[in-house]
């Protein structure tokens, strides 16, 4: 999962130059350039990268706070944001989410 404002690996796997920039709540995954080794590993093992907009990241953070009583940073909530943004893509499938990162500025 990548923030739509920083689609570095998404673009790298397609041989494109990413258009990045802007303020994002997902600072931990706001990468401007994909590392070569990481790109090679992802090219071999990753089927797809889901991009999420800021509104979905914000909603995911809010849901974690309201439902789980857990504060997650934007990057940590990116997996849930992907489910919120693309529910049909995951419907009827078993999905596991990793919740990590509580480094959020208020």
Q: Encode 8-75 in three state secondary structure.
A: HHHHHCCCCCCCCCCCCCCHHHCCCCCCHHHHHHHHHHCCCCCEECHHHHHHHHHHHHHHHCCCCCCC
How many domains does the chain fold into? 2
- Over residues 35-80, the pLDDT tens digits come to 999 999 999 999 999 999 999 999 999 999 999 999 999 999 999 9
Q: Which of 56, 41, 63 is nearest to 2 (CA)?
A: 56
Other CB atoms within 10 Å distance of the CB of residue 3? 27
6 and 38 share a domain? yes
- Find the mean pLDDT for residues 10-32: 93
Boundaries of domain holding 64:
51-90
16 and 35 share a domain? yes
Residue 30: predicted pLDDT: 95
pLDDT beyond 70 at 106: no
């Amino acid at each position: 999962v990548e923030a739509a404002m920083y689609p570095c690996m998404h673009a790298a796997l397609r041989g494109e130059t990413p258009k990045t920039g802007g303020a994002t709540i997902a600072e931990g995954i706001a990468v401007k350039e994909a590392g070569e080794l990481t790109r090679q590993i992802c090219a071999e093992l990753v089927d797809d990268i889901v991009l999420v907009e800021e509104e979905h990241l914000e909603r995911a953070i809010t849901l974690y706070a309201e439902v789980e009583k857990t504060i997650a940073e934007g990057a940590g909530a990116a997996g849930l944001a992907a489910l919120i943004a693309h529910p049909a893509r995951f419907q009827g499938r078993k999905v596991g989410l990793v919740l990590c990162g509580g480094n959020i500025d208020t």
